[in-house]
Amino acid sequence: MLRFLASFSLTFAFTLSLSAADWPQFLGPNRDDTTPEVVEPWKGDLKPLWKMPVGEAHSSPVVAGGIVYAFYQPKGKNADALAAFDAAKGELMWEKSYERPEFKPLFGNGPRSTPAVSGDSVFTLGGTGILACWNAKTGEVVWKVDTLKEFDTKNLFFGISTSPIVIDDKVVVMVGGKGAGVVAFEAKTGKTAWKATDDIASYSSPVFVGGQFVFLTGANLLGLSAKGEKLWSVPFEGKVGELVESSATPIKVGDVVVGSTVTSGAIGLRVAEKEGKFSTEKVWDNKKLTCYFSTPVVVGRYLYMVNGAATIVNPSITLRCVELETGKVAWEKTGVGKYHAAILRCGPVGKERLLMLDDNGFLTLFEPDAKEYKPLARSKVSEKTWAHPALVDGNLYLRDDDNLICVPLK
Protein backbone atom coordinates (compact mmCIF):
# COMPACT_ATOMS: atom_id res chain seq x y z
CA MET A 1 0.00 0.00 0.00
CA LEU A 2 2.80 2.46 0.87
CA ARG A 3 4.52 1.74 -2.44
CA PHE A 4 1.27 2.36 -4.30
CA LEU A 5 0.48 5.62 -2.49
CA ALA A 6 3.98 6.98 -3.02
CA SER A 7 3.78 6.21 -6.72
CA PHE A 8 0.29 7.72 -6.92
CA SER A 9 1.42 10.93 -5.18
CA LEU A 10 4.25 11.46 -7.66
CA THR A 11 1.94 10.88 -10.62
CA PHE A 12 -0.73 13.19 -9.24
CA ALA A 13 1.75 15.98 -8.47
CA PHE A 14 3.12 15.84 -12.01
CA THR A 15 -0.38 15.92 -13.47
CA LEU A 16 -1.37 19.07 -11.62
CA SER A 17 1.86 20.87 -12.54
CA LEU A 18 0.63 21.20 -16.12
CA SER A 19 -1.41 24.17 -17.33
CA ALA A 20 -5.16 24.11 -16.91
CA ALA A 21 -5.70 27.12 -19.19
CA ASP A 22 -6.91 24.91 -22.03
CA TRP A 23 -8.87 21.70 -22.51
CA PRO A 24 -7.22 20.70 -25.80
CA GLN A 25 -8.09 17.01 -26.07
CA PHE A 26 -10.36 14.23 -24.85
CA LEU A 27 -10.49 14.18 -21.01
CA GLY A 28 -8.58 17.42 -20.64
CA PRO A 29 -5.00 18.70 -20.64
CA ASN A 30 -3.61 15.61 -18.92
CA ARG A 31 -6.06 13.07 -20.39
CA ASP A 32 -7.33 12.21 -16.89
CA ASP A 33 -10.55 14.25 -16.40
CA THR A 34 -8.67 16.60 -14.06
CA THR A 35 -8.40 20.35 -13.64
CA PRO A 36 -7.11 22.39 -10.66
CA GLU A 37 -9.94 24.88 -11.24
CA VAL A 38 -12.12 25.34 -8.16
CA VAL A 39 -15.86 24.91 -8.61
CA GLU A 40 -18.09 26.24 -5.83
CA PRO A 41 -21.68 25.09 -5.22
CA TRP A 42 -24.17 27.24 -7.10
CA LYS A 43 -27.69 28.25 -6.17
CA GLY A 44 -30.67 27.94 -8.46
CA ASP A 45 -30.42 27.00 -12.13
CA LEU A 46 -27.32 27.60 -14.21
CA LYS A 47 -27.90 29.73 -17.33
CA PRO A 48 -25.97 29.48 -20.62
CA LEU A 49 -23.74 32.38 -21.61
CA TRP A 50 -24.21 31.43 -25.24
CA LYS A 51 -25.59 28.61 -27.39
CA MET A 52 -24.78 27.88 -31.04
CA PRO A 53 -26.30 25.29 -33.41
CA VAL A 54 -23.99 22.50 -34.62
CA GLY A 55 -24.36 19.32 -36.66
CA GLU A 56 -24.79 15.77 -35.38
CA ALA A 57 -22.03 14.15 -33.29
CA HIS A 58 -21.10 12.58 -29.99
CA SER A 59 -17.67 14.17 -30.30
CA SER A 60 -16.74 16.40 -27.36
CA PRO A 61 -15.80 20.09 -27.65
CA VAL A 62 -12.19 21.06 -26.96
CA VAL A 63 -10.79 24.48 -26.03
CA ALA A 64 -7.40 25.99 -26.85
CA GLY A 65 -6.19 29.59 -27.04
CA GLY A 66 -9.63 31.08 -26.48
CA ILE A 67 -11.20 28.99 -29.27
CA VAL A 68 -13.75 26.18 -28.94
CA TYR A 69 -13.49 23.51 -31.63
CA ALA A 70 -16.48 21.32 -32.52
CA PHE A 71 -16.33 18.28 -34.83
CA TYR A 72 -19.59 17.12 -36.42
CA GLN A 73 -21.54 16.05 -39.51
CA PRO A 74 -22.97 19.10 -41.32
CA LYS A 75 -26.72 19.00 -41.85
CA GLY A 76 -27.68 17.34 -45.13
CA LYS A 77 -24.12 16.35 -46.07
CA ASN A 78 -22.01 13.21 -46.05
CA ALA A 79 -19.02 15.03 -44.60
CA ASP A 80 -16.97 15.68 -41.49
CA ALA A 81 -16.80 19.32 -40.43
CA LEU A 82 -14.60 21.17 -37.97
CA ALA A 83 -15.74 24.56 -36.69
CA ALA A 84 -14.06 27.19 -34.52
CA PHE A 85 -16.02 29.40 -32.12
CA ASP A 86 -14.92 32.33 -30.00
CA ALA A 87 -14.90 30.90 -26.47
CA ALA A 88 -16.05 34.14 -24.84
CA LYS A 89 -18.83 35.15 -27.24
CA GLY A 90 -19.74 31.96 -29.11
CA GLU A 91 -19.31 33.62 -32.49
CA LEU A 92 -18.52 31.26 -35.38
CA MET A 93 -15.03 32.04 -36.67
CA TRP A 94 -14.93 29.43 -39.44
CA GLU A 95 -16.32 26.07 -40.51
CA LYS A 96 -14.50 23.72 -42.91
CA SER A 97 -15.31 20.20 -44.09
CA TYR A 98 -14.34 17.34 -46.35
CA GLU A 99 -16.65 14.86 -48.05
CA ARG A 100 -16.65 11.19 -47.06
CA PRO A 101 -18.83 8.12 -47.74
CA GLU A 102 -22.32 7.96 -46.26
CA PHE A 103 -22.41 6.28 -42.85
CA LYS A 104 -25.53 6.04 -40.68
CA PRO A 105 -24.87 4.04 -37.52
CA LEU A 106 -27.36 3.44 -34.75
CA PHE A 107 -27.66 6.02 -31.97
CA GLY A 108 -26.87 9.10 -34.04
CA ASN A 109 -24.86 10.22 -37.03
CA GLY A 110 -21.61 12.13 -37.07
CA PRO A 111 -18.24 11.55 -35.44
CA ARG A 112 -17.77 10.02 -31.97
CA SER A 113 -14.07 10.82 -31.67
CA THR A 114 -12.89 14.04 -29.97
CA PRO A 115 -10.32 16.35 -31.63
CA ALA A 116 -6.83 16.96 -30.26
CA VAL A 117 -5.23 20.41 -30.52
CA SER A 118 -1.44 20.53 -30.61
CA GLY A 119 0.44 23.70 -31.51
CA ASP A 120 -1.07 25.19 -34.66
CA SER A 121 -2.86 21.99 -35.66
CA VAL A 122 -6.12 20.21 -34.83
CA PHE A 123 -6.28 16.45 -35.38
CA THR A 124 -9.57 14.64 -35.91
CA LEU A 125 -10.63 11.06 -36.60
CA GLY A 126 -14.01 10.66 -38.29
CA GLY A 127 -16.49 7.83 -37.92
CA THR A 128 -15.41 6.33 -41.24
CA GLY A 129 -11.76 6.26 -40.21
CA ILE A 130 -10.45 9.43 -41.89
CA LEU A 131 -7.64 10.96 -39.82
CA ALA A 132 -7.17 14.64 -40.65
CA CYS A 133 -4.87 17.50 -39.70
CA TRP A 134 -6.42 20.99 -39.86
CA ASN A 135 -4.80 24.41 -39.52
CA ALA A 136 -6.01 25.63 -36.11
CA LYS A 137 -6.25 29.26 -37.26
CA THR A 138 -7.84 28.89 -40.69
CA GLY A 139 -9.42 25.44 -40.71
CA GLU A 140 -7.70 24.41 -43.92
CA VAL A 141 -7.00 20.68 -44.19
CA VAL A 142 -3.23 20.13 -44.12
CA TRP A 143 -3.39 16.37 -44.73
CA LYS A 144 -5.74 13.43 -44.29
CA VAL A 145 -5.41 9.64 -44.28
CA ASP A 146 -8.16 7.06 -44.79
CA THR A 147 -6.90 4.70 -42.07
CA LEU A 148 -9.30 1.84 -42.88
CA LYS A 149 -8.29 1.81 -46.53
CA GLU A 150 -4.59 2.38 -45.80
CA PHE A 151 -4.38 -0.57 -43.40
CA ASP A 152 -6.99 -2.82 -45.03
CA THR A 153 -9.43 -3.16 -42.15
CA LYS A 154 -13.17 -2.74 -41.58
CA ASN A 155 -15.17 -0.12 -39.74
CA LEU A 156 -16.75 -0.87 -36.38
CA PHE A 157 -20.51 -1.33 -36.08
CA PHE A 158 -21.05 2.11 -34.48
CA GLY A 159 -18.18 3.76 -36.35
CA ILE A 160 -14.59 4.58 -35.42
CA SER A 161 -14.64 6.32 -32.04
CA THR A 162 -11.13 6.36 -30.58
CA SER A 163 -9.83 9.88 -29.91
CA PRO A 164 -6.34 10.73 -31.23
CA ILE A 165 -3.51 11.51 -28.82
CA VAL A 166 -0.41 13.54 -29.76
CA ILE A 167 2.93 12.52 -28.22
CA ASP A 168 6.44 13.43 -29.47
CA ASP A 169 5.12 14.95 -32.73
CA LYS A 170 3.22 11.72 -33.44
CA VAL A 171 -0.55 11.33 -33.72
CA VAL A 172 -1.46 7.94 -32.29
CA VAL A 173 -4.76 6.13 -32.91
CA MET A 174 -6.19 2.63 -32.72
CA VAL A 175 -6.82 1.26 -36.24
CA GLY A 176 -7.29 -2.50 -35.79
CA GLY A 177 -5.52 -3.69 -38.94
CA LYS A 178 -3.23 -6.71 -39.33
CA GLY A 179 0.11 -5.55 -37.90
CA ALA A 180 -1.55 -2.16 -37.42
CA GLY A 181 -3.67 -2.51 -34.31
CA VAL A 182 -2.20 0.82 -33.20
CA VAL A 183 -0.62 3.29 -35.63
CA ALA A 184 1.42 6.46 -35.09
CA PHE A 185 1.47 9.13 -37.81
CA GLU A 186 3.91 11.99 -38.26
CA ALA A 187 2.03 15.08 -37.08
CA LYS A 188 3.45 17.30 -39.81
CA THR A 189 2.93 15.02 -42.81
CA GLY A 190 0.49 12.22 -41.94
CA LYS A 191 3.06 9.60 -42.93
CA THR A 192 3.17 6.39 -40.89
CA ALA A 193 5.80 6.63 -38.16
CA TRP A 194 5.26 3.20 -36.59
CA LYS A 195 2.62 0.52 -36.24
CA ALA A 196 2.17 -2.19 -33.63
CA THR A 197 0.18 -5.32 -32.69
CA ASP A 198 -2.57 -7.28 -34.43
CA ASP A 199 -5.20 -6.17 -31.90
CA ILE A 200 -8.66 -5.50 -33.27
CA ALA A 201 -10.01 -2.03 -32.58
CA SER A 202 -12.48 -0.96 -29.92
CA TYR A 203 -14.32 2.31 -29.27
CA SER A 204 -11.97 3.21 -26.40
CA SER A 205 -9.34 5.97 -26.40
CA PRO A 206 -5.73 5.64 -25.18
CA VAL A 207 -3.87 7.46 -22.41
CA PHE A 208 -0.15 8.15 -22.10
CA VAL A 209 1.12 7.92 -18.51
CA GLY A 210 4.57 7.28 -17.07
CA GLY A 211 6.21 7.01 -20.48
CA GLN A 212 3.79 4.44 -21.91
CA PHE A 213 0.54 4.25 -23.83
CA VAL A 214 -2.29 2.26 -22.29
CA PHE A 215 -4.98 0.97 -24.65
CA LEU A 216 -8.16 -1.00 -24.18
CA THR A 217 -8.34 -2.70 -27.57
CA GLY A 218 -11.02 -5.07 -28.78
CA ALA A 219 -9.14 -7.94 -27.16
CA ASN A 220 -6.66 -6.72 -24.54
CA LEU A 221 -5.50 -4.18 -22.03
CA LEU A 222 -2.24 -3.20 -23.66
CA GLY A 223 0.89 -1.19 -22.82
CA LEU A 224 3.12 0.28 -25.55
CA SER A 225 6.24 2.41 -25.36
CA ALA A 226 6.37 5.86 -26.95
CA LYS A 227 7.97 4.15 -29.97
CA GLY A 228 5.29 1.48 -30.30
CA GLU A 229 7.15 -1.35 -28.59
CA LYS A 230 4.85 -3.83 -26.86
CA LEU A 231 5.51 -3.73 -23.12
CA TRP A 232 2.71 -5.88 -21.74
CA SER A 233 -0.71 -7.26 -22.68
CA VAL A 234 -3.56 -8.86 -20.71
CA PRO A 235 -6.64 -10.43 -22.38
CA PHE A 236 -9.71 -8.36 -21.54
CA GLU A 237 -12.69 -7.82 -23.80
CA GLY A 238 -16.26 -6.67 -23.72
CA LYS A 239 -18.65 -8.10 -26.30
CA VAL A 240 -22.40 -8.08 -26.81
CA GLY A 241 -22.96 -11.10 -29.03
CA GLU A 242 -20.30 -10.84 -31.73
CA LEU A 243 -19.96 -7.07 -31.43
CA VAL A 244 -17.01 -5.49 -29.65
CA GLU A 245 -18.44 -2.98 -27.16
CA SER A 246 -15.30 -1.95 -25.22
CA SER A 247 -15.53 1.84 -25.00
CA ALA A 248 -14.29 3.15 -21.64
CA THR A 249 -10.85 4.78 -21.41
CA PRO A 250 -8.43 2.85 -19.18
CA ILE A 251 -6.65 4.74 -16.41
CA LYS A 252 -3.20 4.33 -14.86
CA VAL A 253 -2.42 5.60 -11.37
CA GLY A 254 1.05 4.84 -10.09
CA ASP A 255 1.68 1.21 -10.98
CA VAL A 256 -2.02 0.29 -11.13
CA VAL A 257 -3.97 0.12 -14.39
CA VAL A 258 -7.77 -0.07 -14.26
CA GLY A 259 -9.78 -1.21 -17.25
CA SER A 260 -13.52 -1.75 -17.56
CA THR A 261 -16.01 -2.94 -20.17
CA VAL A 262 -19.79 -3.05 -20.32
CA THR A 263 -19.86 -6.87 -20.07
CA SER A 264 -16.69 -8.00 -18.25
CA GLY A 265 -16.76 -5.56 -15.34
CA ALA A 266 -13.51 -3.98 -14.17
CA ILE A 267 -10.04 -5.24 -13.29
CA GLY A 268 -7.10 -3.71 -11.48
CA LEU A 269 -3.63 -4.62 -12.75
CA ARG A 270 -0.31 -3.92 -11.10
CA VAL A 271 2.26 -3.29 -13.82
CA ALA A 272 5.90 -3.73 -12.79
CA GLU A 273 9.16 -3.16 -14.66
CA LYS A 274 12.52 -4.74 -13.86
CA GLU A 275 15.61 -4.46 -16.04
CA GLY A 276 13.51 -3.34 -19.00
CA LYS A 277 11.02 -6.21 -18.78
CA PHE A 278 7.40 -5.71 -17.78
CA SER A 279 5.09 -7.99 -15.82
CA THR A 280 1.46 -7.72 -14.75
CA GLU A 281 -0.46 -8.98 -11.75
CA LYS A 282 -4.24 -8.92 -11.46
CA VAL A 283 -4.91 -7.48 -8.01
CA TRP A 284 -8.69 -7.43 -8.26
CA ASP A 285 -11.59 -8.29 -10.53
CA ASN A 286 -15.14 -7.01 -9.99
CA LYS A 287 -17.77 -8.12 -12.52
CA LYS A 288 -20.25 -5.60 -11.10
CA LEU A 289 -18.24 -2.57 -12.25
CA THR A 290 -19.36 -2.44 -15.88
CA CYS A 291 -18.40 0.84 -17.57
CA TYR A 292 -19.95 1.53 -20.97
CA PHE A 293 -18.15 4.66 -22.18
CA SER A 294 -17.72 6.73 -19.02
CA THR A 295 -14.14 7.13 -17.73
CA PRO A 296 -13.48 6.66 -13.98
CA VAL A 297 -11.65 9.34 -12.00
CA VAL A 298 -9.47 8.94 -8.92
CA VAL A 299 -9.46 10.98 -5.71
CA GLY A 300 -7.05 9.71 -3.07
CA ARG A 301 -7.51 5.96 -2.64
CA TYR A 302 -10.89 5.80 -4.37
CA LEU A 303 -12.31 5.49 -7.87
CA TYR A 304 -15.51 7.27 -8.80
CA MET A 305 -17.08 5.48 -11.74
CA VAL A 306 -20.36 5.19 -13.62
CA ASN A 307 -21.59 1.64 -14.32
CA GLY A 308 -24.39 0.40 -16.53
CA ALA A 309 -25.41 -2.14 -19.15
CA ALA A 310 -25.83 -2.35 -22.92
CA THR A 311 -29.59 -2.64 -22.97
CA ILE A 312 -32.45 -0.80 -24.64
CA VAL A 313 -34.95 -1.91 -21.99
CA ASN A 314 -35.14 0.59 -19.13
CA PRO A 315 -31.44 1.60 -19.25
CA SER A 316 -30.05 3.00 -16.02
CA ILE A 317 -26.57 3.83 -14.71
CA THR A 318 -25.15 3.80 -11.20
CA LEU A 319 -22.48 6.05 -9.69
CA ARG A 320 -20.10 4.07 -7.46
CA CYS A 321 -17.26 4.89 -5.10
CA VAL A 322 -14.72 2.04 -5.28
CA GLU A 323 -11.51 1.25 -3.40
CA LEU A 324 -8.71 1.59 -5.94
CA GLU A 325 -6.54 -1.09 -4.31
CA THR A 326 -9.24 -3.74 -3.90
CA GLY A 327 -12.12 -3.03 -6.29
CA LYS A 328 -14.58 -3.13 -3.38
CA VAL A 329 -17.62 -0.84 -3.58
CA ALA A 330 -17.79 1.72 -0.77
CA TRP A 331 -21.18 3.16 -1.79
CA GLU A 332 -23.44 3.56 -4.78
CA LYS A 333 -26.04 5.99 -6.10
CA THR A 334 -28.47 4.42 -8.55
CA GLY A 335 -30.42 6.08 -11.36
CA VAL A 336 -28.02 8.91 -12.20
CA GLY A 337 -28.73 8.61 -15.94
CA LYS A 338 -29.49 6.12 -18.72
CA TYR A 339 -26.26 5.05 -20.45
CA HIS A 340 -23.59 7.62 -19.67
CA ALA A 341 -22.36 10.32 -17.33
CA ALA A 342 -19.04 12.17 -17.58
CA ILE A 343 -17.13 12.93 -14.37
CA LEU A 344 -14.53 15.71 -13.92
CA ARG A 345 -12.25 16.11 -10.90
CA CYS A 346 -11.89 19.79 -9.99
CA GLY A 347 -9.73 21.67 -7.50
CA PRO A 348 -6.32 21.28 -5.82
CA VAL A 349 -5.15 18.18 -3.97
CA GLY A 350 -7.05 17.73 -0.72
CA LYS A 351 -9.85 20.08 -1.78
CA GLU A 352 -11.26 18.21 -4.78
CA ARG A 353 -14.85 18.23 -5.92
CA LEU A 354 -16.48 16.20 -8.68
CA LEU A 355 -18.66 17.43 -11.54
CA MET A 356 -20.94 14.93 -13.24
CA LEU A 357 -22.81 15.61 -16.49
CA ASP A 358 -25.35 12.86 -17.15
CA ASP A 359 -26.95 11.95 -20.47
CA ASN A 360 -30.22 13.63 -19.51
CA GLY A 361 -28.39 16.97 -19.43
CA PHE A 362 -28.16 17.45 -15.64
CA LEU A 363 -24.95 18.77 -14.10
CA THR A 364 -24.24 17.71 -10.50
CA LEU A 365 -21.47 18.89 -8.17
CA PHE A 366 -20.68 16.44 -5.38
CA GLU A 367 -18.13 15.87 -2.65
CA PRO A 368 -15.66 12.99 -3.07
CA ASP A 369 -16.42 11.17 0.17
CA ALA A 370 -15.65 7.49 0.80
CA LYS A 371 -18.56 7.09 3.21
CA GLU A 372 -21.53 8.43 1.29
CA TYR A 373 -22.81 10.35 -1.73
CA LYS A 374 -22.76 14.08 -0.90
CA PRO A 375 -24.38 16.25 -3.60
CA LEU A 376 -23.68 19.99 -3.37
CA ALA A 377 -25.58 21.46 -6.35
CA ARG A 378 -27.54 20.34 -9.42
CA SER A 379 -28.94 22.02 -12.52
CA LYS A 380 -30.28 21.19 -15.97
CA VAL A 381 -27.78 22.54 -18.51
CA SER A 382 -28.61 20.81 -21.83
CA GLU A 383 -30.78 18.35 -23.66
CA LYS A 384 -29.67 14.73 -24.22
CA THR A 385 -25.89 14.37 -24.48
CA TRP A 386 -23.23 11.67 -24.66
CA ALA A 387 -20.36 14.11 -25.19
CA HIS A 388 -17.80 14.90 -22.52
CA PRO A 389 -17.71 18.55 -21.35
CA ALA A 390 -14.65 20.82 -21.14
CA LEU A 391 -13.98 23.18 -18.20
CA VAL A 392 -11.88 26.29 -18.86
CA ASP A 393 -11.68 29.51 -16.81
CA GLY A 394 -14.91 28.82 -14.95
CA ASN A 395 -16.91 28.04 -18.09
CA LEU A 396 -18.25 24.61 -18.92
CA TYR A 397 -18.36 23.90 -22.66
CA LEU A 398 -20.64 21.06 -23.72
CA ARG A 399 -22.82 19.92 -26.58
CA ASP A 400 -26.13 18.13 -26.88
CA ASP A 401 -27.89 16.76 -29.96
CA ASP A 402 -28.27 20.19 -31.56
CA ASN A 403 -26.17 22.85 -29.85
CA LEU A 404 -22.74 23.82 -28.58
CA ILE A 405 -23.24 25.50 -25.19
CA CYS A 406 -21.17 27.59 -22.78
CA VAL A 407 -22.34 27.55 -19.15
CA PRO A 408 -20.57 29.79 -16.58
CA LEU A 409 -20.02 28.08 -13.24
CA LYS A 410 -18.63 31.07 -11.34
- What's the pLDDT at 16? 33
- Residue 3 confidence (pLDDT) above 60: no
Q: Which of 111, 99, 124 is nearest to 73 (CA)?
A: 111
For residue 313, name the pLDDT band (cuts at 50, 70, 90). Answer: confident
- What's the pLDDT at 316? 95
- What's the pLDDT at 133? 98
Q: What is the DSSP string of 222-276?
A: EEEETT--EEEEEE---EETTEE---SPPEEETTEEEEEETTTEEEEEEEEEETT
| pLDDT, tens digit (0-9, with 9 covering 90-100), for 29-59 | 999 999 999 999 999 999 999 999 999 999 9
For residue 11, name the pLDDT band (cuts at 50, 70, 90). Answer: very low
- What's the pLDDT at 7? 43
The sheet with strand 297-299 has its strands ordered as 297-299, 302-307, 317-323, 329-337
- What's the pLDDT at 242? 81
What is the pLDDT averaged over residues 249-258? 95
Q: Which of 94, 168, 80, 164 is nearest to 122 (CA)?
A: 164
Element (H, E) at 3: helix 2-16
- Residue 151 confidence (pLDDT) above 60: yes
For residue 303, name the pLDDT band (cuts at 50, 70, 90). Answer: very high
Least confident range from 19-28, 134-143, 215-224, 240-249: namely 19-28
d(CA 117, CA 130): 17
- What's the pLDDT at 53? 98
- Residue 15 confidence (pLDDT) above 50: no
- What's the pLDDT at 6? 40
Q: Has domain 2-408 been given CATH number 2.130.10.10?
A: yes
Least confident range from 17-21, 170-174, 271-275, 332-336: namely 17-21
- What's the pLDDT at 4? 43
In the three-class reduction of DSSP (H, G, I as helix; E, B as strand; rest coil), residue 12 is classed as helix
For residue 14, name the pLDDT band (cuts at 50, 70, 90). Answer: very low
- Yes or no: say if 376 and 363 are a contact pair by the CB < 8 Å rule: no
- What's the pLDDT at 110? 94
- Residue 274 confidence (pLDDT) above 80: yes
What is the pLDDT averaged over residues 155-159? 95
| pLDDT, tens digit (0-9, with 9 covering 90-100), for 61-78 | 999 999 999 999 999 999
Q: How large a percentage of the chain has pLDDT more than 70?
A: 95
- What's the pLDDT at 10? 37
